[in-house]
Structure 1
Amino acid sequence: MRMSARVDGAQSLVRKLDRFTEATSNKIQRQVLMEAGEIIADRARELVPVDSGDLRGSITVSDKVRAYDGQGLTLGIGGPVTIYIGPQRGSKPDGFYGHMVEWGTVKMAAQPFMRPAFDSTRGQVQSRIRNDLAAAIAKAARG
């Protein structure tokens, strides 16, 4: 016995699934995370102790890990995209000593600014990521 079936709307469904893939692409994830990362960076710039202003000026958001050498924070949403937030080493101004300010040294007490910035903006950052990704997915679903 032979059976056949016809599915109406399959091509439309495939197109919508393709748009969903685009809405959650690395490019969209990067954009969403960069914008959310700026929330943390702005708060860190407010909290960082200022002497010359170089450390504050070096706090950036980037997708390039080499500039950070382990200082600062990383932000990701479970995909291949990761954003780095914190003082940038080798930049102008140079924030090479950010980790010493954050964690202290044998000669200087810690003056944390990155962790408090993250902690105080966590809810806002999560909401921003959730809302921006939801908007991108809804836009893709509408076509």
Structure 2
Amino acid sequence: MPLEVTGLKEWASKIKEIEKVFKSVKISDIALQAGAEILRDEVKRRAPRSKFGGKHAADHVIISAVVEGKIAIGFIPDHWYMKYHEWGTSKMKAQPFFEPAFNAKRKEIQQAMYNVYVRELAKI
């Protein structure tokens, strides 16, 4: 008695749709943006603030556009000196805030990016 298999064409079609989701530049850009927003918010929270009431670098954390699958998070050019707070100098002890922010939110960032793909896959 021969074995009859049905539904393979539909299954292959679904797999191609899933592949499109994972290869989509638009969806990966959305996922990067979702993760970047979480990191930006945590960097803002942890960044040092001026004791003299001036501009606070924490209020000027920006997210770049996604370029070739990469996104940058940092400060506006007026706050170029924040790298010295992060890494220190020969005369100033490092007061890291950026790397600890990333380490604290790593799982949440990954989850947010994962959720974007889950949401897109649910549409199939």
**Structure 2 length normalisation: TM-score?**
0.76
Structure 1 position 40 matched with structure 2 position 42: no
Aligned equivalent of 2:101: 117
**Structure 1 length normalisation: TM-score?**
0.67
Aligned equivalent of 1:27: 26
Give the % identical residues. Answer: 28
Counterpart CA distance in 2 for 1:47 and 1:128 is 20
Aligned equivalent of 2:55: 53
Amino acid at match of 1:96: W
Counterpart CA distance in 1 for 2:44 and 2:7 is 55
| Contact 1:34–1:62 (CA under 8 A) maintained in structure 2 | no
Aligned equivalent of 1:70: none
Amino acid at match of 2:29: R
Count of aligned positions: 116
| Gapped regions of structure 1 (runs ≥ 5) | 1-6, 66-79
SS at the partner of 1:60? strand
Q: Which structure: greater helix fraction?
A: 2
SS at the partner of 1:63? coil
| Gapped regions of structure 2 (runs ≥ 5) | 1-5
| Contact 1:59–1:86 (CA under 8 A) maintained in structure 2 | yes
Q: Which structure: greater strand fraction?
A: 1
Structure 1 position 87 matched with structure 2 position 89: no
Q: Offset of 1:137 from its aligned partner?
A: 2.0
